[in-house]
A and B are shown apart, each in its own frame.
Chain A
Amino acid sequence: MGKRTNGVATATALGLVALAGCAVGGGDEGGDGSGGEVTLSLLTFETPNLTAEYWDDIIARTNAEVPGVKIKKLVAPSAEQRNEYVRQLDSTGALPDIMVAIDPAGLAEAGKLTEFSEKELADWVSPTANSFDGEIYQLPTNSQTWQVYYRKADFEKAGISTPPKRWDDLLAAVDKLKAAGITPFVIGGGAPDGLGPRWTFAQLMADEVYAKDPKWLDKLVAGKTDFSDPLFVNAVTKMEALANKDNVDNLSATYAQAQDDFLAGKGAMYPMGSWFPAAPDKAQQKQIGVFPMPTQDGSLVLPVYTGGGLSVSDRAADVARAKKWAIEFSKLNADGGARYDGLFVALKGYKPPAGLPPLYNATLDVYDEAQSSGTVTPSFGNEAGIPALPSGFISKADAALNDLLNGRADPDQFVTTLNEELEELSQ
């Protein structure tokens, strides 16, 4: 038995490592040919707002407008993991034909995505958003902003009459809430969707870094500055003061759990993206308000990302029809995106449909005000195009943020970690 077991075990070990080694590879298959009807794969992801039914509905409506296309829907394991998942699919030669809201970085430079022409982008407000040396690989279908949602009743109970505008006002509000026995924040941060802390930090970065130096990311990527830059350190220090574990309900909650927790009243404030207004029901819409993240001097600064649309594989079974389907999907999805995902549709001349949730309109007001009389900045962690942070960096930053918020690292250690990771990933 011994020798036989030995042989089996050795073969198993080799097989095991062969599986681990499946990291390597690539392929170029896309769909099923060039007949009258073509099957195209579409990679989606599900969130509390974007349910399976939502995707099925918009796919069916788009199919009706683009005859001859049959869609095979794929769903990423989670919203956060969709970028990793699409790269896994790519490495196994199964890059989907059409992909929803993926980060094109890496795939674009490697020539795996097809570019959209000026004519194809003519209907959008920001046709050059997220440019890779002038080429656009993702439809700039919508804008998203990040702000703080709050429970009006909690503020009232804590004696906070108006939402804070200045940083000191915010800290005072946190103290008042704690004194009233209310947990100030719901943020989340647990695996696998550790997005909450990143989206909170992006709001602090907007005022402390991008508003003061709009070219900061260019300098960082070019090696002309690093994370020990005083601007960045200020943002980190504020993050630690604001969202440490004493101020947050449950730092292990996933994105979906955190949203449920906020709606269930487990915390007074919820720093989140502009898609959140699609989640509260009619009654909750009245109970929740919105304000931009307070800044040092009280001015309005808002992080914004425009893009988030569909990308098409350069090796799709039928690239032309895949692009046509993606463009049609984006236009048909405009009202649905606004209603069900709180998107600010970036189509020229677009008017949101009537009857959108009050919180959507309130958030849109903040965005409009920021565009007309405030400052609109990039959103840290959502940068796409060139320049951008190296692939995989942001998940390392998420882990480092987790250490910072849980008291396992101070701002200096956080900065050191980020510098080390950036150096390694940029080599």
Chain B
Amino acid sequence: MTNSVRSRTGTDTAGERSRPGPPHRTPTPSGRTGGPGGHRSRTWSSAGAFAVFVLPTLTLFTAMVLAPILWTLYTGMTDERATRPETSFVALDNYGFLLGDEEFRHSMWNTVVITVIVVLLTNLLGLAIALLLRRQGRLYSLLRGVFFTPVILSAVVVSVIGRSILADDGLLNSTLVSMGVASPPGWLTDPSYAIYSVSGIMVWQMLGFAVVVYLAGLAGIPAELEEAASLDGAGPWQQFRAITWPMLASALTINTVMLMISTFKVYDQIAVLTNGGPGTNGTATVAFEVIRTAFSEQRPGLASAMAGIMLVVVAAASVTTLKLLQRREVDL
């Protein structure tokens, strides 16, 4: 936490103490005024440090991340199909096709809807639960564990549980029927509900993560700040607005960006809960379409172009969100 919180009197309170000053230069024997031998020695030392600390990571990053991305972008400019031996370079044809393709646009829309729901609801509920679980005690520790459990479960397991609850004859509808509801909704089979049901399952799974991040943020708020505010006569809501919420700015940034990225790549839940349905205009997301196009339809060229578009969208959304949230941190 590097941001400061300005009190009503205009003095910096938290940040003033923790903000690091400019780096303090420590004079070295072979400083800037040293001779040519010292300079060479420093250069070799830097090169050695680069080789030891940076090169392995850079190599790994290039091999595991950069090269696949570049290869994916290249493949997206071909008409590669697994069933056809010859492949041609088609430049941006795949991208042009996808931008005009209703099915792909629908999957993009689904991805955006799910992302917005998951980011907003998970943040809101995560914060509320973190505030409730902030206290010390065995019960609260237990509850924190309970809320975190879905995070460590596989998405497939969570989805299977979700399916048993939300299926037409699942737990939820059986309960509704027993309460006298004649025709309960098809939570996973009616396109009007399915996307919200999938989003709900994802919120449930990711809630624990948001709670933990907010709890960590809450733990970093100095108790004396809240005590001082209380002595000044601030009520709980005023304390939340003036101290807690501003000091959770970095937690909000982390939660929002991580949730956004996790949700953008959602595949498992869709595959298990709806398999992209119900019907043709169902819940397929971009990641689901990438997998389906690549493996089921055996069109890696087109699927790679989808992944390329996804890269641009995710990167743009992440950077924009970060900038907006960081501006809030700085402007406090």
For the complex formed, measure the closest distance between the CB of B91 and the CB atoms of chain A, giving whole angstroms.
16
The residue among A21, A90, A250, A395 with the most chain B CB atoms within 10 A of its own CB is A21
Q: Which residues of A from 365 to 420 have beta carbons under 8 Å from B? A: 390-392, 395-396, 399-400, 402-403, 406, 408-409, 417
A251 to chain B, nearest CB (A): 7
In the complex, whether B290 has a CB less than 8 A from a CB of chain A is: yes
When the two chains form their complex, are residues B64 and A18 in contact, meaning their CB atoms are under 8 A apart?
yes
- Determine whether the beta carbon of B298 is less than 8 Å from that of A21: no
Q: Is the Cβ of B329 less than 8 Å from the Cβ of A2? A: yes
**B113-121, B128-136, B200-208, B277-285: which lies at the interface:** B277-285
- Minimum Cβ distance to chain B for residue A125 (Å): 29
* Interface presence of B261 (CB below 8 A): yes
Is B257's CB under 8 angstroms from A2's CB? no
Instruction: Identify which of residues 4-30 in chain A touch chain B, using a CB-to-CB cut-off of 8 Å.
Output: 5-6, 9-25
- Bound complex: CA of A90 vs CA of B82, how far in Å? 10
Which residues of A are found within 8 Å of B261, using beta-carbon distances?
A: 9, 12-13, 16
CA distance A110 to B84 in the complex (A): 7
B87 CB to nearest A CB, Å: 11
Shortest CB distance B318–A (Å): 5
User: Are A110 and B83 within 8 A (Cβ)?
Assistant: yes
Of residues 207 through 227 on chain A, the ones whose CB sits less than 8 Å from some CB of chain B are none
Shortest distance from the beta carbon of B261 to any chain A beta carbon, whole Å: 6
Q: Does B238 contact A (CB under 8 A)?
A: no
Q: What is the distance, in angstroms, from A366's C-beta to the closest C-beta of chain B? A: 31
Q: Evaluate contact between A106 and B318: CB separation under 8 angstroms.
A: no
Residues from chain B with Cβ under 8 Å of A392 in the complex = 292-293, 296-299
Contact of A24 among B188, B278, B294 (CB under 8 A): B294
Give complex CA distance A9, B326 in Å.
13
Asked if A20 and B296 sit within 8 Å, CB to CB, the answer is: no
- Nearest residue (CB) in B for A105 is B83
Contact partners of A257 in chain B: CB under 8 A: 167
Q: Nearest B residue to A427 by beta-carbon distance?
A: B79
CB distance from A412 to the nearest CB of B (A): 14
Q: Tell me whether A23 and B280 are in contact (CB under 8 A).
A: no
Q: Which residue of B lies closest to A261 (CB)?
A: B169
Which B residue sits closest to A393, measured CB to CB?
B297
Inter-chain contacts of B125 with A (CB < 8 A): none
The CA of A25 and the CA of B250, in the complex, are separated in Å by: 39
Residue count of chain A within 8 Å CB distance of chain B: 55
Pick the residue among B253, B273, B297 that contacts A191 (CB under 8 A): B273
Most buried by A among B254, B274, B282, B295: B295
Contacts between the two chains (Cβ within 8 Å), count: 198
The answer to whether A24 and B271 have CB atoms under 8 Å apart is no
* Contact in complex: B292, A395 (CB < 8 Å): yes
Say yes or no: is A87 at the interface (Cβ < 8 Å to chain B).
yes
Whether B174 is near chain A, meaning CB under 8 Å from some CB there, is no
Residues of B within 8 A of A292 (CB): none
Asked if A109 is at the interface of the complex by the 8 Å CB criterion, the answer is yes
Contact, CB under 8 Å: A252 / B189: yes
Listed stretches B6-14, B37-45, B143-151, B303-311; interface member: B303-311
In the bound complex, CA of A288 to CA of B253 (Å): 61
Q: Chain A residues near B68 (CB, 8 Å)?
A: 18, 21-22, 24
Q: Looking across the interface, which residue of chain A has its beta carbon closest to that of B273? A: A191
The verdict on B2 contacting chain A, using a C-beta distance below 8 Å, is yes
Q: Judge whether B272 and A192 touch: CB under 8 Å.
A: yes
Q: Is B72 an interface residue (CB 8 A)?
A: yes
User: Is B65's CB under 8 angstroms from A14's CB?
Assistant: yes
Q: With an 8 A cutoff between CB atoms, is A88 at the interface?
A: yes
Does B280 lie within 8 Å of A396, measured CB to CB?
Answer: yes
Bound-complex Cα distance A107 to B69 (A): 26
* CB-based contact A399/B282 at 8 Å: yes
Q: Are A251 and B189 in contact (CB under 8 A)?
A: yes
Is B72 in contact with A406, judged by CB distance below 8 angstroms?
A: no
Say if the beta carbon of A299 comes within 8 Å of chain B. no
Q: Given A20-B307, A91-B295, A391-B296: A403 and B280 within 8 A (CB)? A: yes
Q: How far is the CB of A245 from chain B (nearest CB, A)?
A: 9
Q: Is the CB of A408 within 8 A of B191?
A: yes
Query: Could you say which residues of chain A place their CB within 8 Å of the CB of B96?
Result: none
Identify A91's interface contact among B264, B277, B292, B294, CB under 8 A.
B294
Task: Determine whether the beta carbon of B2 is less than 8 Å from that of A1.
Answer: yes
Name A87's contact: one of B72, B280, B298, B307 (CB within 8 Å): B298
A337–B36 alpha-carbon span in the complex (Å): 83
Query: Using an 8 Å CB-CB cutoff, how does the interface string of A103-143 with B read, 1 for contact, 0 for none?
Result: 00111011000000000000000000000000000000000
B278 & A84 in contact (Cβ 8 Å cutoff): no
Bound-complex Cα distance A173 to B186 (A): 28
Cβ proximity bits A293-332 to B, threshold 8 Å, 1 near / 0 not: 0000000000000000000000000000000000000000
A289 within 8 A of partner (CB): no
Interface pairs (13), CB distance under 8 Å: A5-B250, A6-B326, A17-B315, A20-B287, A110-B83, A191-B188, A194-B275, A252-B188, A391-B298, A392-B292, A392-B297, A403-B281, A406-B279
List 9 extra interface pairs beyond A18-B69, A109-B84, A403-B278, CB under 8 A: A10-B318, A13-B261, A16-B264, A16-B314, A21-B307, A21-B308, A84-B292, A250-B168, A395-B296
Residues of B that sit less than 8 Å from A by CB: 1-3, 61, 64-66, 68-69, 71-72, 75, 80, 82-85, 167-169, 186, 188-189, 191, 250, 253-254, 257-258, 261, 264-265, 271-282, 286-287, 290-300, 303-304, 306-308, 310-311, 314-315, 318-319, 322, 326, 329-330
Considering the complex of A and B, which 4 residue pairs feature the smallest CB-CB distances, nearest first? A21-B72, A392-B297, A191-B275, A23-B294
